[in-house]
Amino acid sequence: MARKYEYRTGCYGWAMERCEEKLLISAFYEIEQRIPPGQMWKEDFLDHFYQHGNGVKFDTISCINAERRRQTLDPIEFRQTTVYEYARSANRIQKSELRRQMRDEFLALDTADRARWRREAEEQTDSLLPPHITFEELKAQREIRPPPAALTPRERTMRFQASEPQPAIYLPPQPEVRTESPTLARAIRQLKLAKRPETIAMIISQLAPDDALDVAESGLVDDADLIDALVARSLVPVADLVT
């Protein structure tokens, strides 16, 4: 299910589609009343999932499954799939609100309708397509072919000064962002360091449409989903950016 991401070195989480979140909601409430008191993972899950709109930690899923096994219930399984608009969204406020709405809707159902809810969520989840590239494959590619580092301000200044005495010499275009823009260079550095989807989305949202397109064309980012998000940002009409 969903997209696997690394939020800290060696620590992983899931960014889910709505059908996957519905399945998780039903699976959790099936065991919630019989979870022993004082389980910190439970409060951590409820806070991050419903109040902050964050992804779900692998450790949390392990705790839910351990409790399901203790209650002689089948564990819930997660797999990597193609990620669509909802899972990609970094709007955590909207996600937390939608999750609370789904929870309230589920709790208002009778037993038969809760079973139908669970069955429909499972069917929709099973229909999700495999990922274009898995987390492990993408990580391996980056380790083999790490993206070129962005120029530092000092390197940009030296390059400009070196070219100034020979203005008549033709220099072929280079596959990089406009070196005179520290904003774009900083955005690329931030995108290379960011791990969480919401952090990446925040960085992209601060770019002007033309700047987002420059970054996508620079050749300094090679993640297909990240390039798609940058191109999508470049499509935003200028009028929509005016508040």
190-239 per-position pLDDT tens digit? 877 777 878 888 888 887 877 877 777 777 777 777 777 877 877 766 44
What is the three-class DSSP state of 11?
strand
Least trusted range by pLDDT, from 67-81, 117-131, 208-222: 208-222
Integer Cα distance of 66 and 89 in angstroms:
30
CA angle 154, 188, 95 (to 5 degrees): 150
Tell me which residue of 223, 18, 182, 185 sits closest to 102, measured CA to CA: 18
Spatial CB neighbours of 30, under 8 Å, sequence gap ≥ 6: 68, 73
Q: Report, as an integer, the average pLDDT of 40-50.
A: 96
Number of H helices, E strands in the chain: 12, 3
Q: Is the model's pLDDT at 75 over the cut of 70? A: yes
Torsion of CA 35, 36, 41, 46, to 10 degrees: 50
Q: Is the model's pLDDT at 160 over the cut of 60? A: no
What is the three-class DSSP state of 7?
strand
**What value does the mean pLDDT of the chain take?**
82
Comparing 123 with 215, the larger pLDDT belongs to 123
User: Contact, 78 vs 1, CB < 8 A?
Assistant: yes
Spatial CB neighbours of 133, under 8 Å, sequence gap ≥ 6: 141, 224
pLDDT computed for residue 36 by the predictor: 94
What is the three-class DSSP state of 137?
helix
Comparing 232 with 166, the larger pLDDT belongs to 232
pTM for this prediction: 0.58
Q: Report, as an integer, the average pLDDT of 174-196.
A: 67
Q: Which amino acid is at 14?
A: W
pLDDT-derived band at 105 (thresholds 50, 70, 90) equals very high
In the block, which residue shows the tokens 């299910």? 1
Spatial CB neighbours of 226, under 8 Å, sequence gap ≥ 6: 191, 200
pLDDT computed for residue 127 by the predictor: 92
Tell me which residue of 24, 220, 12, 33 sits closest to 125, measured CA to CA: 24
Integer Cα distance of 207 and 130 in angstroms:
31
Q: Is the model's pLDDT at 30 over the cut of 90? A: yes
Least trusted range by pLDDT, from 53-62, 103-112, 228-237: 228-237
Q: Which amino acid is at 117?
A: W
pLDDT computed for residue 83 by the predictor: 86
Q: Is the model's pLDDT at 159 over the cut of 80? A: no
pLDDT computed for residue 143 by the predictor: 78
pLDDT computed for residue 149 by the predictor: 62
> Which range, 132-136, 142-146, 203-207, 236-240, has the best average confidence (pLDDT)?
132-136
